Chain A
Amino acid sequence: MSADSNQTPAKQTSAKQTLAVWKFSSCDGCQLSLLDCEDELLALADRLRIAYFLEATSAVAEGPYDISIVEGSITTPHDAERIREVRRQSRTLITIGACATAGGIQALRNFGDVAEFTSIVYASPDFISTLSTSTPISAHVPVDFELNGCPINKVQLLEVIGAHLAGRRPRVRGHSVCVECKRRGTVCVMVAHGTPCLGPVTHAGCGAICPAYDRGCYGCFGPMESPNTAALSARMAELGSEEIDLVRVYRTFNAGSAAFREASEAHEHEPAGGAPA
């Protein structure tokens, strides 16, 4: 990246970078975070040219695009093709949210039988075209930057876009939620109250909201850079978590991430989806 943040104003207006926002299998919450930037949205639209963002505008410009922001996971054969086309059209591709970076909550199918899942939800399963797995974007195409979170933090999203425009690396740290609790001055819910908490193995970025609201972190930002899930699981077991609790706690929105998948499988001793003891 050689873009220079100190370009002349003339250059900025004549060569605005183009932004495209793409949706795959998801809840829309992460792209909504962009529209939730109420104070920055219009300024951002001044600085970038929104070339493709269907949730916000029906105006569509042809690619290629300077920055593509991708929400959602790949769950259909059609989408597996579509993401390749998006990649071909994009100079920089940034994935946002747990679906795009880890497969999302819908990756719970990866642990079960999709044919059975389909028959539970739909009366005529023959009409449904779906893959047996939900996979992150990086399983299909090269990704330039991944922003974690279910949902993402909109301040981090602005940082990623701003850093791209300035031609520098985004300041998004890979440490754990614990660091954010310390900075916020929150008393540790696990040490002080014995509340099971995924904070020690979870990627920072949310601002450590849950412990500030007297609950344990539930891991919605996915694994931090060097998670020691075995040590945490052992401690949670001492605090009273049973094996099924340990499976469930790792098996949510980032169940498809390597670290959380392995941590959940380490405690699974029954068939997937089996009845509790």
Chain B
Amino acid sequence: MSADGGTQGGETRIIRTDYLARVEGEGAMYVRLDGRTVEDVKLRIYEPPRFFEAFLRGRAFTEAPDLTARICGICPVAYQMSAVRAMEDACGVTIDEGPLRDLRRLLYCGEWIESHSLHVYMLHAPDFLGYPGAVEMARDHAGIVEQGLQMKKAGNALMAVVGGREVHPINVRVGGFYKAPTRVQLRTLLEPLERARETALATVGWAAELPFPEVERTPELLALSDPDPGSYPIDRGRIRSDAGLDIAPGEFDEHVVEEHVEHSNALHARLRERGSYLTGPLARYGLSHAQLRPLAREAAGEAGLGPLCTNPFQSIVVRAVELVQASDEALALIEAYEEPDAPAVEVTPRRAVGHGATEAPRGLLYHRYEIDEDGTILDARIVPPTSQNQLAIEEDLRAVVERDLDLPDEQLSLRCEQAIRNHDPCISCATHFLELTVERG
């Protein structure tokens, strides 16, 4: 980062950070100030396009989970789960109960644990404690980093047993799995997951004590809502918002429009009715606080979190609460697991359109496919959480810059970067090269 001179109050100031570190992928941010007025805020995404929706055309419906997993190495399970749900929807198959659904939720818990541990400890915590990264942080806080790594390892172990490996699991298929794990295999995960749960509980308390800038933001929150009142949303349900949206995944297309703007290679999603919205941990927590497992809800309460968290900087606490949720749920699923009669149900293609929406660690991930009667994909649409959150992130940036106008350039830059990291943008789902520029005119 470099600060190119200048003082506040009318003179031109340009603050520039050439790369935003500790996000998945690379992109740029641009803020222009005229005096004390924020004129323009842009989260710029330079992701070289990879054309997934285009080359999915002509492929077999059974290939979608493995192909779309490659959109993101951090959340491949999310892509696989939204893809299989969409294909099953198209083919008239529902896997909403029983051991196959439990295994899917279990695998998804592994991804939440792995991804949230990575973000809380390695990407986000260094912002609060003043380090460039977790490796540097480990020199002074070895125990903290080590426990984060061990929790991450438990999530990865779960993905490796159920999915076959941590990154781009191989065991997921339309209709279920290629091979269901045995009870004995799953029980080997009990001990590391119990330790992960302990660590997650400690993490909630630790994260709650971090120094938070006082920022209040109330974007429209959008997330899945599980029909079971005792179930936090992960893999199914209607799409709801706190402003009254309540739709089936099949209606997503009618309500969410994507725009292509010049400063970004990721499409900007907005609600047709009201504009920007936020998806991800803050949205899930705000909409489904009552559906958290008791252990997670109590941990949130003890940490002083109400049923709604309006400070985006506290998303680190909410992620920690979701770590409790995911590890506690994984343990319960393993304890109750009965091996299925068959690892998958038969899914016969037909000419149809199918929709799938699930909760990636970063938020709602929507897939829609049109397939031919022989299962050939005719059309595909994929809306990742980060393209939905871009506008809300830009609005956060605006709020943070307006609040912290008087900070020196370098600190303001760091604060802006932190504000972006609050939402764990998965820029590889969307970005290439992030350049942070604050221009003051």
Contacts and interface: CB of A to CB of B under 8 A. Distances in A.
Interface of A: 23-33, 35-36, 38-39, 41-42, 45, 50, 53-60, 75-76, 79, 104-106, 108-109, 112, 114, 116-118, 120-124, 127-128, 130, 150-151, 206, 209-210, 212-215, 218, 220, 245, 248, 252-253, 273-276
Given A27-B71, A206-B165, 11 more contacts: A29-B76, A42-B145, A57-B136, A58-B417, A59-B133, A108-B55, A118-B49, A118-B51, A124-B260, A214-B343, A245-B60
Interface size class on chain B is 35 or more
A23 B178 contact: no
A42 B138 contact: yes
Given A54-B19, A57-B22, A117-B55, A122 B376 contact: no
A254 B72 CA distance: 17
B12 interface: no
Nearest to B73: A29
Contact of B164 (A42, A130, A210, A253): A210
Contact of B51 (A35, A50, A76, A109): A109
Most buried by A among B52, B259, B376, B417: B52
Contacts of B138: 42, 45
Given A28-B428, A118-B49, A38 B150 contact: yes
Interface string B143-171: 00110011011001000000011111011
B24 A56 contact: no
A212 B164 CA distance: 9
Contacts of A109: 51, 54-55
Contacts of A58: 19, 21-22, 126, 132-133, 417
A210 to B, nearest CB: 5
Given A38-B152, A56-B122, A105 B21 contact: no
B262 interface: yes
A248 B63 contact: yes
A27 B428 contact: yes
Contacts of A75: 48-50
Contacts of B173: 215
9 contacts: A23-B25, A41-B135, A42-B135, A55-B24, A59-B133, A114-B51, A120-B51, A218-B170, A276-B376
A131 B222 CA distance: 36
B195 interface: no
Given A54-B19, A151-B73, A210 B54 contact: no
B89 interface: no
Contacts of B52: 105, 121
B26 interface: yes
Contacts of A25: 48, 50, 432
Contact of B53 (A31, A120, A218): A120
A212 B343 CA distance: 14
B57 interface: yes
Contacts of A212: 164
A29 B150 CA distance: 19
**Closest 9 A/B residue pairs (Cβ):** A29-B73, A57-B133, A58-B21, A59-B132, A117-B54, A38-B153, A151-B167, A108-B55, A28-B428
Given A36-B167, A128-B49, A28 B22 contact: no
A56 B54 CA distance: 32
Interface string B303-325: 00000000000000000000000
A27 B73 contact: yes
B376 A76 contact: no
A36 B166 contact: yes
A276 B372 CA distance: 10
Interface string B57-76: 11110010011001111101
A39 B153 contact: yes
Contacts of B50: 25, 75, 105-106
Nearest to B152: A38
Nearest to B376: A276
Contacts of B72: 27-29
B171 A213 contact: yes
B287 interface: no
A260 B76 CA distance: 24
A130 B432 CA distance: 12
Contact of A253 (B60, B70, B135): B70
A120 B381 CA distance: 10
Most buried by B among A28, A53, A253: A28
B179 interface: yes
A56 B133 contact: yes
A39 B145 CA distance: 11
A29 B179 contact: no
A212 B54 CA distance: 32
Most buried by A among B63, B150, B168, B173: B168
Contact of B168 (A29, A55, A79): A29
B164 A213 contact: yes
Contacts of A30: 73, 167
A108 B428 CA distance: 18
Contacts of B149: 38-39, 41-42
A122 B170 contact: no
B8 interface: no
A38 B156 contact: yes
A213 B178 contact: yes
A56 B178 contact: no
A41 B149 CA distance: 9
Most buried by B among A104, A108, A130: A108
Contacts of B165: 151, 206, 209
B374 A28 contact: no
Interface string B26-60: 10000000000000000000001111111101111
Contacts of A150: 70, 168
B134 interface: yes
Most buried by A among B48, B66, B265: B48
Contacts of B26: 23, 54
